[in-house]
Amino acid sequence: MQGLMMDTELQISSILRHADRNFGDREIVSVTADNPLHRYTYADCFRRTRQLANALGNLGLAAGDRIATMAWNDYRHLEAYYAIAGSGFVCHTINPRLFPEQIVFIINHAEDRWIMVDLLIVPLLEKIADQISGVEGFIILTDEQHMPETTLKNAISYESFIGDESDEFDWPVFDERSASALCYTSGTTGDPKGVLYDHRSTVLHAYAGAMADTMALSSKDCVLPVVPLFHVNAWGVPYSTLMTGCKLVFPGPKMGDGETLYQLMEQEEVSLALGVPTVWLALLQYAESVGKKLNKLQRTVIGGAAVPESMIREFRDKHDVVVMQGWGMTEMSPLGTIGTLKYGMESLTPDEEVSIRAKAGRGIFGVEMRIVDDEGKELPWDGVAYGSLQVRGPWICSDYFKLDGAGGAHTDDGWFDTGDVAIIDQLGYMSITDRTKDVIKSGGEWIGSIEIENTVMGHDSVAEAAVIGVAHPKWTERPLLIIIKAEGAQLERDEILGWLEGKIAKWWIPDDVVFVEEIPHTATGKIRKIELRKQFADYQLPS
Ligand code: AMP
């Protein structure tokens, strides 16, 4: 027997209509390339979003056509998110930090018809314009007054593009499984792969992100997403915050600037901020250097890479800020786990609490996870066994865009293989120990490079650390520790190796240490291990 409930499509435009009705006076504050502090309300935002939808309607696009954005976090980018997807087109967010040849590849692969581009990113596109000739025109995210001289074809300022349009627009109703957004993963090898989100997955993911034991969003929150809108929909924040009526603060091009982040947090009374560990390093360093405390911030979600314990402690001890570590990936919309505490954990000692928060978190309803061995046999959640981490659920990709099953990441029984290696404890808290392809195999046993890196990062004299496997005649591979020293710090090989004793398994202690000025990163801030392995391919270990 069928139930008797209404068949209402879960569409992104429904979030906008709800937010408009219920929280019209809520503020959105942005730093932009043409305005150091722009401020308006949800009602203003949605009025302009409807104007933009009307303007896009004049371009002769068909449902499902891709319109790209290449922009920092600000209000115009948010308007683009809602107008593009709400109209039935696909918002293809492009990471401007990718290598130019990757950007060319993904624009052509996605067959983007128009690109909305931030003022500051125009020169980058001008350089590759002759290789992306399929793009019909460019909307520069600024007003007429700040419009640059540009060689980009059919370039128009955003404000002129929407200026004369009506602010009335009926959001079309369509199948909730229609594509809404596209984001390419910036893998370290091979061509980037497109992950195609749909309206249903986006709305369900936004509900999950807002829940009390996830990010606990409410209309009383003021949220600062430092995580970029161009990377995995800024972890779903543009949807979950509008669903719940949070005030939003966007840092624009200033996302790496500790001082601006600090000032925005204090002045706008930000209660929750989200970003990758590197960004918070900049903020904490700034606060430390000027002797200031974060007075308003209550909690932060940190993910995208492992969060060092020292960062969790610094936020807590110096700023009274709770760190919630999250894990996920582009293919997962991205939320998979989050490190909130469970019932019964109220009486943990501060150290016990840090050790839980230093894990990648526990499962969110909507994401099933399992760890399996090399033969695909499921392993226990016992805090000891490690294996390949696999997931499934309604916001996890079932295939890559235009790859027709050739992505190689799905199992025959319908799970997505994340490429991460993990341990899950009895309480369901998961820890990432490595990427499958980065695992160091020593004497037939796995050594978790990420776990060693996390521990090393806890040393005061270390700014950044990476661990890779190098060839060893007896053990096949042994770990080599690569360190960037903290500014002005003195650190010797034997000192750091001695310090590690007792903190990690004895046989995991690296065989040698090299000090470097720079560690290569991907466009999303992850260490390029493949590059490091090449660089140190002929490294002779002392043993
Ligand atoms: P991306 O698709 O670029 O967001 O990258 C996803 C990958 O980032 C995951 O597969 C992990 O390898 C890594 N990652 C994300 N969050 C964490 C975390 N909390 N700890 C360790 N690695 C993480």
pTM for this predicted structure: 0.91
112: confidence class by pLDDT, cuts 50, 70, 90: very high
At residue 129, what are phi and psi to the nearest 5 degrees?
Answer: -55, -40
- pLDDT given at position 476: 86
- Return the SS3 of 327: strand
Better-scored residue on pLDDT, 127 or 99: 127
392: confidence class by pLDDT, cuts 50, 70, 90: very high
> How far is residue 203's CA from residue 15's CA, in Å, rounded to a whole number?
8
**CB within 8 A of 230, min separation 6: which ones?**
69, 70, 71, 72, 93, 94, 95, 96, 183
> How far is residue 194's CA from residue 105's CA, in Å, rounded to a whole number?
11
Measured from the CA of 435, which atom of ligand 1 is nearest?
12
Summarize the confidence of residues 265-274 as an average pLDDT.
98
**CB within 8 A of 443, min separation 6: which ones?**
474, 475, 476, 507
- Return the SS3 of 516: coil
- Residue 404 Cα to ligand 1 middle (Å): 25
pLDDT at residue 75 tops 60: yes
Measured from the CA of 232, which atom of ligand 1 is nearest?
4
265 and 258 Cβ atoms separated by less than 8 Å: no
Measured from the CA of 360, which atom of ligand 1 is nearest?
19
Measured from the CA of 361, which atom of ligand 1 is nearest?
19
Residue with tokens 């007896």: 474
- Return the SS3 of 392: strand
What are 303's strand-pairing partners?
Answer: 326
Candidate from 335, 432, 449, 457 with most ligand 1 atoms within 8 A of CB, to mutate: 432
> Of all helices (H) and strands (E), which one includes residue 263?
helix 258-268
Report the nearest-CA residue for atom 1 of ligand 1.
329
- Residue 115 Cα to ligand 1 middle (Å): 28
Summarize the confidence of residues 332-355 as an average pLDDT.
96
Candidate from 329, 371, 449 with most ligand 1 atoms within 8 A of CB, to mutate: 329
Summarize the confidence of residues 402-430 as an average pLDDT.
93
> How far is residue 482's CA from residue 374's CA, in Å, rounded to a whole number?
29
Better-scored residue on pLDDT, 505 or 492: 492
What are 223's strand-pairing partners?
Answer: 248, 272
Report the nearest-CA residue for atom 4 of ligand 1.
329
- Residue 447 Cα to ligand 1 middle (Å): 18
pLDDT at residue 36 tops 70: yes
Better-scored residue on pLDDT, 56 or 503: 56
For residue 32, which of 254, 247, 234 has the smallest C-alpha distance?
254
- Residue 124 Cα to ligand 1 middle (Å): 27
- pLDDT given at position 331: 96
Better-scored residue on pLDDT, 75 or 386: 75
Report the nearest-CA residue for atom 6 of ligand 1.
329
**DSSP character at residue 121:** G
At residue 486, what are phi and psi to the nearest 5 degrees?
Answer: -65, 155
Residue 354, judged by CB atoms within 10 A of its CB (0-12, 13-18, 19+), counts as: middle
- Residue 30 Cα to ligand 1 middle (Å): 27
- Residue 302 Cα to ligand 1 middle (Å): 11
507 and 477 Cβ atoms separated by less than 8 Å: no
Alpha carbon separation from 49 to 37, 115, 328 (Å, rounded): 20, 17, 29
- pLDDT given at position 448: 83
> How far is residue 19's CA from residue 43's CA, in Å, rounded to a whole number?
9
pLDDT at residue 189 tops 70: no
pLDDT in tens, 320-339: 999 999 999 999 999 999 99
Please name each of the domains of the chain with its CATH number. 9-253 (3.40.50.12780), 361-437 (2.30.38.10), 439-535 (3.30.300.30)
- pLDDT given at position 401: 97
pLDDT at residue 539 tops 90: yes
Summarize the confidence of residues 166-171 as an average pLDDT.
98
- Residue 234 Cα to ligand 1 middle (Å): 14
Report the nearest-CA residue for atom 23 of ligand 1.
305
Summarize the confidence of residues 176-197 as an average pLDDT.
88
Residues shown for the chain: 543
pLDDT at residue 443 tops 70: yes
pLDDT at residue 187 tops 70: no
> How far is residue 258's CA from residue 285's CA, in Å, rounded to a whole number?
7
**Residue 139 region, left (φ>0) first, then alpha (ψ -120 to 50), else beta?**
beta
Report the nearest-CA residue for atom 20 of ligand 1.
306
Summarize the confidence of residues 346-372 as an average pLDDT.
96
408 and 402 Cβ atoms separated by less than 8 Å: no
Summarize the confidence of residues 46-57 as an average pLDDT.
98
pLDDT at residue 403 tops 70: yes
Buried b (16+ CB within 10 A) or exposed e, 473-490: eebebbbbbbbbbeeeee
pLDDT in tens, 198-225: 999 999 999 999 999 999 999 999 999 9
407: confidence class by pLDDT, cuts 50, 70, 90: confident
pLDDT in tens, 294-321: 999 999 999 988 898 999 999 999 999 9
- pLDDT given at position 188: 52
Alpha carbon separation from 423 to 22, 384, 390, 417, 430 (Å, rounded): 43, 6, 12, 15, 6
Q: Is the dihedral of CA 437, 355, 317, 363 positive or negative?
A: positive
Alpha carbon separation from 386 to 57, 247, 328, 397, 539 (Å, rounded): 51, 41, 18, 24, 28
Report the nearest-CA residue for atom 7 of ligand 1.
329
298 and 272 Cβ atoms separated by less than 8 Å: yes
> How far is residue 500's CA from residue 481's CA, in Å, rounded to a whole number?
11
492: confidence class by pLDDT, cuts 50, 70, 90: very high
CB atoms within 10 A of CB 7: 5
139 and 112 Cβ atoms separated by less than 8 Å: no
- pLDDT given at position 278: 83
When the pLDDT of each residue in the chain is averaged and rounded to a whole number, the result is 94
- Torsion angle, CA of 400/405/410/411, rounded to 10 degrees? 170
> How far is residue 253's CA from residue 73's CA, in Å, rounded to a whole number?
7
Which residues does ligand 1 sit against, CB inside 6 Å? 185, 232, 303-306, 325, 327, 329-330, 334, 360, 418-420, 432, 435, 524
Report the nearest-CA residue for atom 15 of ligand 1.
304
Better-scored residue on pLDDT, 382 or 507: 382
Measured from the CA of 522, which atom of ligand 1 is nearest?
3
484 and 519 Cβ atoms separated by less than 8 Å: yes
Provide, rounded to the nearest whole percent, the portion of the chain with pLDDT above 90: 84
Beta strands in 148-271 (DSSP E): 155-157, 179-185, 193-198, 222-225, 247-250
196 and 179 Cβ atoms separated by less than 8 Å: yes
Give the residue numbers marked as catalytic: 185, 331, 441, 446
